[in-house]
Structure 1
Amino acid sequence: MRELAAAYAATLPGLDTHSLMAGLQGVTLTFMAMGDRDGAYDPEHQVILINSRVRPERQRFTLAHEIGHALLLGDDDLLSDLHDNFEGDRLEEVIETLCNAAAAAILMPEPLIAEVLTRFGPSGRALAELSRRADVSATSALYALAERTQAPVIYAVCAVGRVDVGPGEAEDERPAGKALTVRASSAAPSVKYSLRPGTPIPDDHPVAVALDTNFPLAQDSYVPFRSGRKMPAYVDAFPERHRALVSFALPVRASEPGREEV
């Protein structure tokens, strides 16, 4: 699916909204109110529909996702393999995952990610730069960057929000009100840990300090797992628009097969 998407993107005159459509002959693009849906591809009428009421960056990723649907429907071999191996709801889940992978490959091509990592390293700044240059959400950039990072690194997008009570926790074990929490997280393939969304960030942690002062901060600290465990890490926090884009570089020994959420 990534190969299909990358080949498609290579033929485009640009990656702006209308240039993204240039490779789909006969397909039109329509923006309209769609309620809770972000978009849809109607192969019968050759039209891609995009919700006009969502954020521009979301519209753009949705457009690339729907282009992924069109590419998939045009590849008989891949489509046949999917129907041979999956069915029902699971088939739909796999197709949606593949179309997200296609969208990432179109909007964040390998050369761009390689350039960002070469220039900024696996850092919070790299996450911000990829999001800005690809014009995608920080969450979309996070997953793409993590997948292509060789070093043992956990990436996270942190922002102020309500602290959720985890399974088995009493209400009085977490502070009431709002706090800085993890909104999204993903780790490099070599890392077996991930950060659960909703994980609180302590007030004295470098991520919180960077957000409070609005200055980037990089120093030795720790990963604040929700379980209370503190794993040593080099923290690079880049504040941007009321959120912090973060990388936690782990010791090499933390790089082990498998993955668990702490």
Structure 2
Amino acid sequence: MLAPAKTRMRELAAAYAQALPGLDTHSLMSGLDGVTLTFMAMGDRDGAYDPEHRVILINSRVRPERQRFTLAHEIGHALLLGDDDLLSDLHDSFEGDRLEEVIETLCNVAAAAILMPEALTAELLTRFGPSGRALAELTRRADVSASSAIYTLAERSDALVIYAVCAVTRIDAEPGDSEEEHLSGKALTVRASSAAAGVKYSLRPGTPIPDDHPVAVALDTGIPITQDSYIPFRSGRKMPAYVDVFPERNRVLVSFTLPFKAGKDEI
């Protein structure tokens, strides 16, 4: 049931986006008659849609690109509530926490379809291939976070590829760490990743990047790198891959393209 529901949600969202005059905040809201938009402090919540009072609430204290994706996500809630057939099918197929989980997934699907239309991702993949540069361009042109963009790009890539966002983060010292590691307390790690269909391995958030890996070298030099290398799994296993790294300020956007069909499970 989930696959057909995703397809229907994409159709609803794409139709909604095509009717808009633009994709700025005002234009995004223009397709919802009588719905108002309010920004306010919401603690840990990013946003909410109140169908009774016809209002979308957005957390005023999160980053602008996160607010933008949240707005599109809440528009997804409004679109879903307006499709009686889809809503009925969901309630017939799911219940309880699983129903809520599926609804949130579908609203993320809607947000991606609104802000990152297939025509845009197709253009970028044709021009740049499944690369860190394509990921950077999608993030910039759709005005969304890289974490949001990787899932959409992975879903629409035909290649066997894993996309990742890596950055220097603070880490907790563990038994056995060297004195230097205890003192530094920071490491270049995977912040988020997503694999295309057919890739059965994944990179867990927090996976460290070795100092001599092209991802680390690109961050240090600020120069994009494309070369044959490997995927540095947390287990220590190195899977051969073509690595495309695009450094951007204090992070790197990466694609790991596999030369073969990988087996199942995370390493």
TM-score by length of 1: 0.94
Out of 169, 175, 185, which is 1:171 matched to? 175
1:260 aligns with 2:265: yes
Shift of 1:72: 0.4
Q: Tell me, what secondary structure is at the counterpart of 1:226?
A: coil
Shift of 1:253: 3.9
Identify the residue that residue 181 of structure 1 maps to in structure 2.
189
Question: What is the CA–CA distance in structure 2 between the aligned matches of 1:43 and 1:253, rounded to whole Å?
Answer: 45
Aligned counterparts, 1:44-193, within 5 A = 44-163=52-171, 171-172=175-176, 175-176=181-182, 177-193=185-201
Question: What is the CA–CA distance in structure 2 between the aligned matches of 1:80 and 1:220, rounded to whole Å?
Answer: 49
Q: Tell me, what secondary structure is at the counterpart of 1:130?
A: helix
What is the number of residues matched between the two proteins? 255
Q: Percent identity?
A: 83
| Most deviating of 156-165 and 77-86 | 156-165
Contact kept in structure 2, 1:163 and 1:200, CA below 8 Å:
no
Shift of 1:141: 0.5
Question: What is the CA–CA distance in structure 2 between the aligned matches of 1:163 and 1:229, rounded to whole Å?
Answer: 21
Identify the residue that residue 5 of structure 2 maps to in structure 1.
none
Contact kept in structure 1, 2:198 and 2:261, CA below 8 Å:
no
Question: What is the CA–CA distance in structure 2 between the aligned matches of 1:112 and 1:151, rounded to whole Å?
Answer: 17
Shift of 1:88: 1.1
Question: What is the CA–CA distance in structure 1 between the aligned matches of 2:195 and 2:253, rounded to whole Å?
Answer: 14
Question: What is the CA–CA distance in structure 1 between the aligned matches of 2:48 and 2:196, rounded to whole Å?
Answer: 31
TM-score by length of 2: 0.92
1:217 aligns with 2:214: no
Question: What is the CA–CA distance in structure 1 between the aligned matches of 2:70 and 2:104, rounded to whole Å?
Answer: 11
Q: Which amino acid aligns with 1:261?
A: E
Contact kept in structure 1, 2:162 and 2:194, CA below 8 Å:
yes
Identify the residue that residue 243 of structure 1 maps to in structure 2.
251
Shift of 1:164: 6.4
Question: Any gaps of 5 or more consecutive residues in structure 1?
Answer: none
Question: Any gaps of 5 or more consecutive residues in structure 2?
Answer: 1-8
Question: What is the CA–CA distance in structure 2 between the aligned matches of 1:164 and 1:80, rounded to whole Å?
Answer: 47
